[in-house]
Amino acid sequence: MVELNTTVAIIGAGPSGLLLSQLLANAGIDSVIIERSSKNHVLGRIRAGVLEWGTVETLKDAGVSERCFAEGLPHDGFDLFFNGERHRVDVSHYTGKQVMVYGQTEMTKDLIEQREAEEQSIFWSTPDAQLLDVDGNNPKVSFTNVDGKPVTLNAKIIAGCDGFRGISRQAIPQEKLREFERVYPFGWLGVLVDKPPLHHELIYANHQEGFALASMRSNTRSRYYVQCDNGDIVDDWTIDQFWSALITRLGPELGPKVQTGDPLEMSIAPLRSYVAEPMRYGRLFLAGDSAHIVPPTGAKGLNLAVADVRRLARAIERWKLKGADAALEDYSKEALNRVWKVERFSWYLSTMLHQFPEHSAFEKRMQEAEFSYVKSSEAATKSIAENYVGLPF
Ligand code: APR
Ligand code: PHB
């Protein structure tokens, strides 16, 4: 048996776990990360790519923003496109801020590089972690190390950064947990292609055949999505069928401008809204996808994780350095207050921009009226802008 000690045991080396470790290290607080998958598997994940300016500032504060500023694409706004009508949301005009197009994959790569440069202890390919005594005075994580030896990691705090399918949320007794969920009757089929983007900003389209999104990773690499049926698997779609659906849904003005090609990656993601309350149980604190999921329509998943982590790191720092338990006590309530507002925005945009099989004629008119109102109202457009650029932390 190997016995180890740390201040914070972090479960998961996704964006939440890696960023938390970096922020804690910058405050002189040690941590150990346990990750189920290999480093290459974590680095190979293709995820979203729009950073709120608050996320960019957090990366800057963490000292891992150099490549983001060098290679990222600052955007002033995006387009909504509804049955042939276009409406630009001028984020910079309404908020004085931009968003940064920079892939989560790249952000994860930057964080791993920095954590390794600082010799952070990360147990990769460790699928058997178990949380023990999380509501006691001696929380610990047990797992098997690469040499096959059992390890007990004693910690003062356990951070559950292990995503929606992790173990941390499961460590909260069912009778203490309140779960809220909305599963949407569709998914997103995404394609990554080495072709220049259709437009210099993002375009979210609602067409009678379904939703489509034109995004990008750089000026030479594009990311596109089309709404697909819930039961669809990637093999149900040929790349030609994808391009045809995308071009149709972007309409006669934009569709023909799409530069098609063979995909670097093609995958389907289901859409759900989910929140688990509370985000704390004893010495266990949840951050990121372990506590909540948003549909990708508002580009909020990564940004919400960053907001949790920034708040949790600050609370742990106050607790560790000033003995202030209050900050830890307030974490769950304060984090959830922002989580629910972001869940609302992601649900709102998803409801406006997708074709719902079960929608009545009345609900279809409500969708049209919502877009028509947004298109005609500075106040409604400003509301979308301030949510998209990111609510205050
Ligand atoms: N033990 C150790 N690690 C685990 C376990 C486990 N039992 N279960 C899951 N993990 C790891 C996963 O392999 C993953 O690397 O936890 C990490 C969780 O990362 P994410 O799912 O990316 O969640 P998070 O870090 O909160 O980032 C949220 O990532 O997936 C996107 O859409 C999501 O943009 C959002 C962002
Ligand atoms: C992406 O580029 O992957 C992306 C952008 C905006 C979204 C979702 C995904 O809302």
What does the pLDDT look like over 169-216, one tens digit per residue? Answer: 999 999 999 999 999 999 999 999 999 999 999 999 999 999 999 999
Pocket of ligand 1 (CB under 6 A): 11-17, 34-37, 42, 47-48, 104, 129, 161-163, 166-167, 288-289, 301-302, 305
Measured in Å, residue 387 CA sits from the centre of ligand 1 at 24
Catalytic residue among 94, 102, 184, 204: 204
Instruction: For ligand 2, say whether the CB of 114 is within 6 Å of any of its atoms.
Output: no
Distance CA 389, CA 99 (A): 6
Distance CA 13, CA 160 (A): 10
Catalytic residue among 207, 292, 300, 320: 300
| Active-site residue flag, 204 | yes
Distance CA 91, CA 95 (A): 6
| Whole-number pLDDT of residue 72 | 97
Torsion sign (Cα): 59, 65, 71, 76: positive
Cβ-contact 133, 140 below 8 angstroms:
yes
Measured in Å, residue 183 CA sits from the centre of ligand 2 at 19
Q: What is the pLDDT of residues 75-128, one digit of tens each?
A: 999 999 998 899 999 999 999 999 999 999 999 999 999 999 999 999 999 999
| Whole-number pLDDT of residue 326 | 82
Residue nearest atom 3 of ligand 2, based on CA coordinates: 48
Helix 15-26 crosses helix 301-322 at what angle (to 10 degrees)?
30
| Whole-number pLDDT of residue 322 | 82
pLDDT under 70 in the chain at which residues?
A: none
Residue nearest atom 6 of ligand 2, based on CA coordinates: 299
| Whole-number pLDDT of residue 208 | 95
Residue nearest atom 10 of ligand 2, based on CA coordinates: 299
Distance CA 282, CA 133 (A): 9
Measured in Å, residue 106 CA sits from the centre of ligand 2 at 14
Residue nearest atom 22 of ligand 1, based on CA coordinates: 14
Catalytic residue among 15, 296, 320, 354: 296
Identify the structural domains of the chain with CATH numbers, from first to last. 2-72+101-180+272-350 (3.50.50.60), 184-271+357-389 (3.30.9.10)
Shortest-distance atom of ligand 1 to CA 164:
21
| Whole-number pLDDT of residue 342 | 98
| Active-site residue flag, 296 | yes
Measured in Å, residue 225 CA sits from the centre of ligand 2 at 8
Measured in Å, residue 234 CA sits from the centre of ligand 1 at 22
| Whole-number pLDDT of residue 393 | 87
Distance CA 318, CA 327 (A): 7
Shortest-distance atom of ligand 1 to CA 167:
7
Q: Which residue has the tokens 């010799």?
A: 119
Biggest CA-to-CA distance, the chain: 67
Q: Which two tokens stand for residue 305?
A: 């994780």
Angle 152-305-391 from CA coordinates, rounded to 5°: 150
Instruction: For ligand 2, say whether the CB of 203 is within 6 Å of any of its atoms.
Output: no
Measured in Å, residue 45 CA sits from the centre of ligand 1 at 10
| Whole-number pLDDT of residue 83 | 83
| Whole-number pLDDT of residue 309 | 98
Distance CA 206, CA 83 (A): 6
| Active-site residue flag, 75 | yes
| Whole-number pLDDT of residue 325 | 82
Q: 377 — alpha (psi -120 to 50), left (phi > 0) or beta?
A: beta
- Any idea which ligand is nearest the CA of 272? 1
